[in-house]
Amino acid sequence: MDKLVIQGGRPLTGQITVGGSKNTALPLMAAALLADGESKIHNMPVLQDVYTFSNVLRVTGATVAFTPDDDPNTPDSMRIDASNIHHPEAPYELVKKMRASFYMLGALLGRCGKAKVSLPGGCAWGPRPVDLHIKGIEALGAEIREEGGYVIAEAPGGRLKGGTFAFEPSSVGATINVLLAAVTASGESRFENAAAEPDVVVFGQMLQAMGAKIDGLGTKTITVQGVDKLNPVEFSNCPDRIELGTYMIAAAIATPPGETFVINGTNADHLGADFRERFAETGVPVTYGDGMIEVEGVETIQPVSIETAPYPGFPTDLQAQWTVMMTQASGASTVRDTVYTDRFKHVPELRRLGAKLRADGDTVTIEGKDATPLSGAIVMSTDLRASVSLVLAGMVASGETNVLRVYHLDRGYEKLEKKLQNAGIAIERDTYDEAHPEG
C-alpha cells in the first residue's frame, strides 16, 4: 500500500498550479452520456475517481479516452463517445468505490428512459443518503424500486414528464442528478432550494452548451424546459476550489515570512465569500489576480474560528485543512461543521503529531502554536480531506511524518506530491506493509 513520507520544516517556495475541479469533472462526464456522439472535456484532473467513473461509463457502452501526461502543470483532456449506450446499468463493484457514480441514475434515465444503479459507497465518515436523489427523480415521473441493493428506475413510455421538487436540505449531488434527468423530459421542471455551488453552475453551463434550456443556475430556484435531444460539445472544466483553498492554507503555514507564494490556474470567486473573509482575518496577506493568487508568509497567524455552511459559506471540504492552519495560529480557535457534524476523523491523527485538539459534538477546539509544536509521527488517512490535512501538518511538523492509506488522497488531489516537490517540500511516495506499517 502507498504512503507519503514528509520531512517537515521545509519552506514552501515558488509556485503551484491548481488542477481541474474533481467535484465538477464527474458531473460533466455524466452529462456527456446525454448526447449521441463524442464530447471533449478539457482541464480534467488526473484522479482515481476520474478513472473509476470512466469505467462506470464504459459499462454502458460509452467509449472514454483519457491519456494524461506526467506534467503536473499541464491540463488534460478527455473524449467521451456516447453514440452506443446499450447497457443502462452501473454495477456494484464500481459504484461501491465512489458515491458520485450514483449520477448514473439521472444520466441513464435522461438518455435511455431506464436505469439500474447500485446503491453507492464512499468515504467512511457519516451517512450519505440518496433519498433526495430518488425522491427528486420520482417527482419527474420516474417509477423507482429497490431490488438486491440496486435502484431500478423507468420512465413510463420511455421519457420522463418533468415536475416540481423542493430539496430539503439543499444538496449538490441531488441537484445534479435531477438536472441530468430533467433536461430531456417532455415537459417543464422546477426545483426549489436547489444547490448554488460553482460545481452545479459549471455543470449546468455544459448542459446549456449541449442545448439544454435551464434558467436560474446559481440561485435557489432552477427551471428546466425539457428538450428532445442534446448535442455533443467541447467544454472546459473549472479549477478545483477545494484544491485552491488547500494550497492557500499550505502557503499561509509554510511560506517564509515576507516571501510570496504564487498559486496559478485559480478562480477565487468559487471559494465563496466566507472563506475569503475568514482567511483575511488571519492576517495573512493575499493578492487576488486574474487566474492567480499570491500569498505572503507572516510571522504570526491570527486565530480565526469558522463554521461551515453551504456555498457561499465556508466549505465543509476545507475545515480539516483549516484546523491544521489554526494549530499554527497564535491562540485558541474553534471549527464547527454544521454540514457533516461527525467529520472529525482527522482529529485523533493530528493529536498523534502533538496538536492539542478537543472534539465535542460538531465542534473542534484548537489550541494554537504556542501550546504544543507539531512533531513527526505515523498517521492514518481516513477520508479524502482528512488525508490532505495530515500532509499539511507533516509539512510544518519537525522530523518525519508518514501518512498511510493515501489512496484516499489520490481520489481528490492531482499529482500532489509532484506539485509539492516542485515547490520545495521534501515529500516522497513509498510503499509499506499494512500489517507492519513501522517496518
- What is the H or E stretch that residue 398 is in? none
Inter-CA distances, 17 with 320, 356, 378, 400, Å? 21, 32, 28, 26
Q: What is the DSSP string of 220-242?
A: SEEEEE--S-B---EEEPPB-HH
> Is 238 annotated as catalytic?
no
**Cell numbers describing residue 71:** 506534467
Name the active-site residue from 35, 44, 123, 318. Answer: 123
SS3 content of the chain, % helix, strand, coil (to 5): 35, 25, 40
Reduced to 3 states, what is the DSSP secondary structure of residue 159?
coil
339 labelled as ligand-binding? Answer: yes
Q: Is 129 annotated as a binding residue?
A: yes
Kindly report the CA angle at 224 between 219 and 227, in degrees rounded to 5? 150
Closest CA to 152 of 134, 165, 131, 173: 134
As beta bridge partners, residue 39 has 80
Q: Which residues pair with 188 in a beta bridge?
A: 225
> Which among 375, 318, 295 is positioned nearest to 13, based on CA atoms?
295
76 marked ligand binding residue: no
- Going from the C-alpha of 53 to that of each of 66, 201, 213, 264, the distances in angstroms are 12, 21, 26, 27
23 is in an annotated binding site: yes
**According to the annotation, is 132 in a ligand binding site?**
yes
79 assigned binding-site residue = no
Q: Are 305 and 335 in contact (CB under 8 A)?
A: yes
Are 53 and 101 a contacting pair, CB within 8 Å? yes
128 in a labelled binding site: yes
Is residue 27 a known part of a binding site?
no
Asked whether 425 and 384 are in contact (CB, 8 A), the reply is: no
131 is annotated as contributing to ligand binding: yes
> Which residues make up each annotated binding site?
22-23, 99, 128-132, 317, 339
> Which residues make up each annotated binding site for UDP-N-acetyl-alpha-D-glucosamine?
99, 128-132, 317, 339
> Which residues make up each annotated binding site for phosphoenolpyruvate?
22-23
By annotation, the residues acting in catalysis are: 123
